[in-house]
Amino acid sequence: MTTQLQHTCRRMVSLYGRQRLYGYPMLQQCRWFSKSTTEKVKAGDPTKVIDLPSFPAENIRNFSIIAHIDHGKSTLADRLLELTNTISSRGSNKQVLDKLKVERERGITVKAQTVSMFYKYKGKEYLLNLIDTPGHVDFSYEVSRSLAACQGTLLLVDAAQGIQAQTVANFYLAFGEGLHIIPVLNKIDLPGAEPERAIKQIQSAFELDTSSILQISAKSGINIDQILPSVIENMPCPSGSIQKPFRALLFDSWYDKYVGVVCMLGVVDGVLRKGDKVYSAHSDTKYEITEVGIMHPEQVPTGYLHAGQVGYVVCGMKSASEAHIGDTFHHLNTKVELLPGFQPAQSMVFAGIFPVDTNDFRKLDENIKKLTLNDASVSVHKETSNALGQGWRLGFLGTLHMDVFRQRLENEYDANIIVTQPTVPYRGKMREKRIDD
């Protein structure tokens, strides 16, 4: 009976295709998409020679942009990339760091992206590592991880909208990390802009010094040239030492079908070179660094990273389970103090995911592992349904997070899946017994 019911459910999905299964609210057939493609960005100066050892810690700034959704973070990032000649200003640059297909389709940032820029100021060349972060509450875990690799942040506020919910939430995330916060007023050229009102809100809500607040328009390019000098003069440089033993924080990762797992590291102390043997404190595993470099804005091998710099490494990880967000990497046979890492995300919404074809179970299992490598806030547990067979129960930070994850499975892995209606867990207490559901 169970096998027959499973076959009936899957047959209905294959017959109805994209149509909604009326009368069966527990089922949701997902749409088909082709694999996502990253838009190729034209480099501003492809002949530039990158010499990372020539940048001491005092010439490095690691900062992020935080704001409420649609306050102009990605547009500001585009202008900064153009200003530093990281990308060519001759092209039509719109949300260059929004590399996922789902981000371009929805017009929102769902994944924090890191980029290294080079900027000359008062006769000195600086290495600026920028992290563009999401603004929606469902992706707040991306923000908290990104801030751990920074020493400062730009708090962007829409001059027309003023302070909104995620402005406050992201401010306290940065404040809790002890970061230097520079308030920036964006969209001052809009007809409905009220800069004075927004400045008063920032001053009263956050008690920040607004006497020299930056007022810009990222879309029009007004006062963009004031941003980076303010970052260099006001934000502290990294405090690590090149002379100490190497240790680095793993704060992001993704899967590449050619080289396996790629890890984003914030180097706290010491020096890392291609060919070095490193040790993962979390998995107790040894690795050899086969490639090391920076995002500029795509992967550029440099063969070297030192204290204060942020970059990627390829070290032969083949399994998604080996990369643990918040892990500490250090050289073999050296003892270092482990970095504190991150608090795990608390899932708020749960849904079941099942393959339409039971023969795709193993493939889908691998795809989910690879995708959760790039989105560490998703919790995964296997479950079995009488109607749908073997699948997974996934936990998300919200319904938008769930829908984006589903779409990424389809876009990036050609998955054909069934997603059940989202549910919220609750706990009730009856007399002396505790019931979990």
Annotated binding residues for GTP, as ranges?
A: 67-74, 132-136, 186-189
Q: Which two tokens stand for residue 355?
A: 């393959």
> Annotated binding site, which residues?
67-74, 132-136, 186-189
Task: Report yes or no: 432 and 122 within 8 Å, Cβ to Cβ.
Answer: no
Three-class DSSP labels, the chain: CHHHHHHHHHHHHHHHCCCCCCCCCCCCECCCCCCCCCCCCCECCCCCCCCHHHCCHHHEEEEEEECCCCCCHHHHHHHHHHHCCCECCCCCCCCCCCCCHHHHHHCCCCCCEEEEEEEEECCEEEEEEEEECCCCHHHHHHHHHHHCCCCEEEEEEECCCECCHHHHHHHHHHHHCCCEEEEEEECCCCCCCCHHHHHHHHHHHHCCCCCCCEECECCCCECHHHHHHHHHHHCCCCCCCCCCCCEEEEEEEEEECCCEEEEEEEEEECEEECCCEEEECCCCEEEECCEEEEECCCEEECCEEECCCEEEEECCCCCHHHCCCCCEEEECCCCCCCCCCCCCCCCCEEEEEEECCHHHHHHHHHHHHHHHHHCCCCEEEEEEECCCEEEEEEEECCHHHHHHHHHHHHHHHCCCEEECCCECCCEEEECCEEEEC
Task: Report yes or no: 183 and 174 within 8 Å, Cβ to Cβ.
Answer: no
